[in-house]
Each structure stands twice: as C-alpha cells, then as structure tokens.
Structure 1
Amino acid sequence: MGKLIKRDQVDVLIGSVHSGVAMAMAKAAKDSNTLLIVPNAGADAITGPMCAQNIFRSSFTNWQPAYAMGEVAAKKGHKNAITITWKYAAGTESVKGFKEAFEKNGGKVVKELDLPFPGVEFQALLTEIAAAKPDAVYTFFAGGGAVKFVKDYAAAGLNKTIPLYGAGFLTDGTLEAQGAAAQGLMTTLHYADGLDTPRDKSFRLAYAKAHKLQPDVYAVQGYDAAQILAIGLAATQGDPSKKAEFAAAVEKAKIDSPRGPFTMSKAHNPVQDIYLRKVEGNVNKSAGVAVKALADPARGCKL
C-alpha cells in the first residue's frame, strides 16, 4: 500500500475483498487523501468511524443484509433465535445487525454461539442448538465454512425442525458444493438471481458473453465500483485531485446498477434494496425485497 501511494503515486485504489485488508487500505487512503473504492469488504467501520470524503464503497456493510434478515425473521413470527458464526469482525457485525432488527421487532436472541475462525467443528454447537429448540437460527458463514455448516445442519436433521436463515454469503458461490442440503434456504443480500429487470438481464448477458460464466454478487459490486469512478471522473474532467467535486457528484448520483438503482449515503455506502432469496437448484432466486432502500446507520462517521 505504501509503495502504491508514495512511490507510484496512484490516483485511485480499488480493493479489497477481505475486511481486515480493506481496513488497512482505508487507513492508508485516509491518511494520504488517496481515492479509495471498496468493491466488497463489508466492515462497518469503513463507512463508520473510518469514513472520509475520499473513501467510497460499492458493496454493503455487514450490518445491512443482517438487519434485513432480523426484520424478516421477526415478521415470520419467530419469537426466539440462536445465532452462530465465526469469532471475527464480519461474523460479529452480522450477528449484531440481525439481533438489532429481530429484537426491535419483538424477537429475542437467546444465545450467541461462535467458534474460532476458520474452524469447522460444528458438532458440539449443533447439539446445543438441538437441545435449546429455538424458533430459528441465524448464521454468518462463507466459502468452505458455509458449505460444511449447511451440510452438517442438514445431516443433524435440524433443517426439518428449526428454520436456518443467513446473510447471503452462506449460499453465494457455495450451492453446487452444498447440494440438496441447501435447498429451500432463505438468505438476504443486495443481489439475487432472477431479478428479471431489463438492466440486470442485459448485464448478465454481456457478462456471460465476455467471461463465459454467469455473474454473481462480486461481479455486480466490481461493475458498480467502476460506475462510481466514472461518475466522479466525469464530474471533475478526469482530475481525481478534486476530491470535494468527486464526492459531491457521487453523493447526488442515482447509480444504475444491475442490483437495482441505488444512491450513496453521506458516509459513502450504498442505500439499497436488500433482497430475500430462496435456494432453488443452483440459484439464489429472488423472493422479493426484504427491506427497501436500507441505509447503514454509519455509526461513528464524522463527515
């Protein structure tokens, strides 16, 4: 990072996927006033206490899909829930978001279970869930951990008695490996398969032609990072040193995304619809909008 900023004097940084890396990038960008666009990492702090005029995000905060699922679970009539995740920032923030909405809408999180990242020994925790018999379970896992958790949850027979809900990364990029165990699972995220809008259809077609595979949420976020950059550069005649003008243009723009149009909050995080998705085969099919135009509270942002 130091080399890119000091030696190469780059105008713009784009990255990253991992929240820990993105936090370090955000600090370096803030200290040097370098433009930064985060295309994935969901760490709440990037557009919370770390917010800055020159820092933007095209994806989500960990709070957003989790808060939406808390509302969904409460509206489905569930009164008590257990949460389970890895003991790391993304999992902790996700559980907090779910708990905030679930309890605000009359539910109660009766137990918060976690295990060290990236552990996948779930058996003891699943036994605890089975004994407690909650109305619902909320989880944040991704990648290989998500595959094993969903399979173990089904193997324990819990999917037949206790509904499992999750942030969308539980079933994004993991469905083929999860197979039958994932069928019917409901998750929340800012993108879904089968949105059936002209904008999304044209994006998916163009992406498939160019890359010979179907786009996912990561492709959409990358595309929109480029859209944010284009909006800012158009407003400043290509001069990225005009940070105030760049920020003003992005803040007032309505970004025409494949996920649906979104705006940018004052803290520079998308104000966006969060979709409820249901696993059908190998797709996360849209089951409608869970929460419309959800803005992260940007706690700690001093812009």
Structure 2
Amino acid sequence: MNNNNNMPCKTRFSATLGALALGISLATAAHAAEPVKIGLLLPYTGTYAALGEAVTNGMKMAIEQGGGQLGGRAVEYVSVDSEANPGKAVPNMQKLISGSQVDVVVGPVHSGVGMGAVKVARETGVPLIIPNAGFNAATGPLCAPNIFRTSFTSWQTAYPMGQIAADKGYKNIVTVAWRYGFGTESVEGFKEGFEKAGGTVSKEIYVPFPAVEFQSQLTDIAALKPDAVFVFFAGGGAAKFVKDYAAAGLQGKIPLLGSGFLTEGTLAAQGAAATGLLTTLHYADSLDTPQNSKFREDYRQKFSKEADIYAVQGYDTGLLLAQSLEKVAGNTQDRAAWTAAMADARIASPRGDWTFSKAHNPVQNIYLREVRDGANVVVSTAATALADPARGCKL
C-alpha cells in the first residue's frame, strides 16, 4: 500500500499546489460557463414605466450589438419592478442580491428608490450602476467603490445655466420648483452657478410635490418682474407649468429657463407655449454626431420608436458592462478588479465621450438647448467635461 506520508516533503508540497491550482482552475471554468446575472431594479408599471422600458431597451441593445455576451459569458437578466416605491427598495435589492444572486444591479430611475438601493449596495459590495436617479448623495456623501452612475447629478444639469443666465445680462432671477430632493437640489445648483457669475436669486418659490396648480406662483412672478425665471419641473408638471406660464401672459415678457427635464419628453404637450425655452442637459436628440445618428437609427429600427435620454443612459450602461467585463475576461468574482475596470472606462456615447470622476459620476458635456419648431435644438455646449463636485465623497 502506498503511503503519502512516505513521500518526500517537496513532492507532497508540489502535489498539494497542483491540486489547489486544479481546483481553482475548475472553479473558474465552472464560473465562466455560467451567465453574467444582471439584476434590473427599474419601474415597469406606473408613472415611470416608460423610463424603465427605455433604460432596459438601450442597455440590451448595446449588449446585443457587442455580440450578446459580456467578457465571453452569456447574459441573464433578472427583473424586479421597483414601482418607483422607496419603501420597497431595500427588500427588492435583497431579492435580487440574496435571492437571485445577481452579479450586478442596474437601477433605479427614482431617487427615493436610489437611497435604499445605495444602502444595500454599500452593505453587500455588489456593484450598483445607476442609469438615471440623479440625487447628489449617490456620488457625494454616499459614494462607494462599487457604486457608479451613468446619468447625471441634479447639480450637473442646473449649475451651467447660472453662467448662461449671467451671460445674457440677467441680474435678478426668481426660481420655482417642486419641494422635494431633486427640485431643491436643482435650484441650489443653478443658484450656485448664477451667484458665482454675479447674479442674485431674489426669491425661491416652492410648490408641494406633485401639485400642478401654479396660479399663485405665476401671480407672484408677474408682480416681482424678475429678469428671468428658472424652474425645475418634469413630466406632466412641466407640461402644465409651461402652458400656464404662456396663458398668464408671461411668455415673451419674462424669459423662462430650466433644467433640461422641463422640455424632455414634454414638447408635444407644451406645443407653442414652449417656443424659445432655454434648458441645459447632457443630451439632445439633435446632437449632430456619427454616434448619435447611428444610435437613433438603430433604436428606431429595433423598437419602432424614437430614443430619448433614458434610452441613452441605458445604452451607456450596456457599453460600461461590456467594456469593463472584457477587460477582466468576464471575472465577476474579483469585484476589486471589475470595479477598477469600470472606473477606468471611457464611454463613446451618443451624448459625446465621457469618463468617470473619482466619485464615479460621468464627466460630461452639458448642452444649451433652445426649443425651436417643437424640438430641443443644441445652441452650444454650456459646459465641457463638467464634473460634479461630489461634496462629501471620501473615495
């Protein structure tokens, strides 16, 4: 009978190392044979369902255009409807991470859901890619090595308008916004840029979210007679505010400025009332670049509808996953290497090339758009390679 104890020590050590290497190799091969599991925490019902659909469409299109694999591995999607409900954010994240054991979570759209998602991502270390929610904290005080955003911060989309307003000679501006996180953060961003350029915000007017009755606020504006008005509203609220503004006789008398969401996806409802509105955003349908033209044509052909900013952000998420997993040969187990690869990514986006800041928010161009003939037309680049200040981030 052979007895391993009689083997020379060096031989036994070599055999042990060989067995260990074989075990690691087999485990790695087995893992590589499994699909990359992408958890989607997006709204598929309710008010924000169209946004969730656009993000999903854009991301899947980018991955399919890259061959349908990520780092040589097949892809499996696990979807959970966030319902844009902050109260369900933590259990939904746990369902994806503990239940389905996804490799990465993509989401959410809603900033309230984002707070819960970030909490779980920080606790578990699972990579979280935020394709929309713009609350500053995700890449500010709550930043983490495994948290990335492929969209924007509320500061980024509002701050450049401050300098634009000052350049137009406006000295005194009134702001109007919904009183909730993104609304107040947008006003703060604009105010910082405007005051830095020498302007004064004479009054901040807030409307309870999601109220859409603006008569008293419009009466205030008419009485105050500011040089211009900066607002943050989106969706149905944006459509109604712009129409009410024109109906109150203020259109053409007191210029209206806004974060780009004022006219994003709302122009058809706003009609002629939107003509001449100036907004700042990190994308416009009319961007005249080869990447944007191809992207919009591909999206139109595949989904029989026009792409929007949410589809762009989903598309860029797919590009980020493809690029980073190619760099680490599909190894999602080594999270440190994978997140380092994400941090180093350079995305050739329909919105223009962008990279990540140290806090993992896009460093990107912000465009000045003017509504002409029912479209957001790019007038100029309001800020080139703008990085969010990421105040409070300790990375």
Give the TM-score taking structure 1 as reference length.
Answer: 0.98
What is the CA–CA distance in structure 2 between the aligned matches of 1:270 and 1:241, rounded to whole Å? 25
Aligned length: 303
CA–CA distance in 2 between the matches of 1:185 and 1:80? 18
The match for 1:288 is: 380
- Which whole-Å deviations, capped at 9, do the CAs of 1:96-146 have from their partners, x for residues lacking one? 000000000000001000011000110001100110011110011000000
Residue type at the aligned position of 2:200: K
Could you say which residue in structure 1 is the equivalent of 2:138?
Answer: 46
Once residues 304 and 286 of structure 2 are traced to their aligned partners in structure 1, the CA distance between those partners, rounded to angstroms, is: 18
**Residue among 215, 219, 230 paired with 1:127:** 219
Other-structure match for 1:78: 170
Shift of the alpha carbon at 1:291? 0.6
Number of the residue aligned with 1:18:
110
Q: What is the distance in 2 between the residues matched to 1:254 and 1:247?
A: 14
Deviates more, 1:247-256 or 1:193-202: 247-256
Give the alignment partner of residue 245 of structure 1, picking from 334, 337, 341.
337
Q: How many angstroms apart in 1 are the aligned matches of 2:293 and 2:306?
A: 11
- Equivalent residue in structure 1 for 2:289, among 187, 194, 197: 197
Partner of 2:76: none
Q: Tell whether the 8 Å contact from 2:324 to 2:345 is kept in structure 1 after alignment.
A: no
Q: 3-state DSSP class of the match of 2:198?
A: coil
8 A Cα contact 1:235 1:245, kept in partner:
no
Is the 2:136–2:155 contact (alpha carbons within 8 Å) kept by the matching residues of 1?
A: yes
Per-residue CA deviations over 1:10-48 (Å, capped at 9, x if unaligned) read 111111111000111111111111111000010000111
Q: With structure 2 as the length reference, what TM-score do the two structures score? A: 0.75
Determine what percentage of the aligned residue pairs are the same residue: 61
CA offsets, 1:143-173, max 9 Å, x none?
A: 0000100000010111121100000110011
Q: Which residue of 2 aligns with 1:173?
A: 265
Q: 1:229, 1:30 → 2: CA distance?
A: 19
Amino acid at match of 2:387: A
Aligned to 2:251: 159
Superposed structure 1 runs of 4+ greater than 3 Å apart = none
Q: Give the secondary structure class of the aligned counterpart of 2:206.
A: strand
Largest Rg, 1 or 2: 2
The reply on whether 1:302 has 2:394 as its aligned counterpart is yes
Q: Which moved more, 1:232-241 or 1:83-92?
A: 232-241
Which of 195, 209, 212 aligns to 1:103? It is 195
In 1, Cα distance between equivalents of 2:275 and 2:295: 26
Offset of 1:193 from its aligned partner? Answer: 2.2
Instruction: Note if contact 2:127-2:339 (Cα within 8 Å) is conserved in structure 1.
Output: no
Structure 1 residue runs of 5 or longer lacking an equivalent are none
Match of 2:350 in 1: 258
State the shift of 1:228 in Å.
1.2
Code of the aligned partner of 1:31: E
Q: In the aligned structure 2, how far is the partner of 1:106 from the partner of 1:241?
A: 51
Is contact 1:53–1:243 with CA below 8 Å preserved after alignment? no
24-33 or 242-251, which moves further after superposition?
242-251
Q: Which moved more, 1:37-46 or 1:234-243?
A: 234-243
What do you get for the CA RMSD once the two structures are aligned?
Answer: 0.9
Q: Which segments of 5 or more consecutive residues in structure 2 lack a partner in the other structure?
A: 1-92
Alpha-carbon offset, residue 241 of structure 1: 2.9
**Quick one: which amino acid aligns to residue 224 of structure 1?**
D
Report the residue type matching 2:275 in the other structure.
Q
Q: Which one of the candidate residues 138, 141, 152 is aligned to 1:60?
A: 152
* CA-CA distance at 1:252 after TM superposition: 2.3
Mapped to 1, the partners of 2:296 and 2:362 lie a distance apart of 21
Structure 2: how far apart are the matches of 1:287 and 1:192? 10
Give me the whole-angstrom Cα distance separating, in 1, the residues matched to 2:120 and 2:325: 21
Mapped partners of 1:76, 1:243: distance in 2: 48
| Contact 1:26 1:50 survives alignment (8 Å) | yes
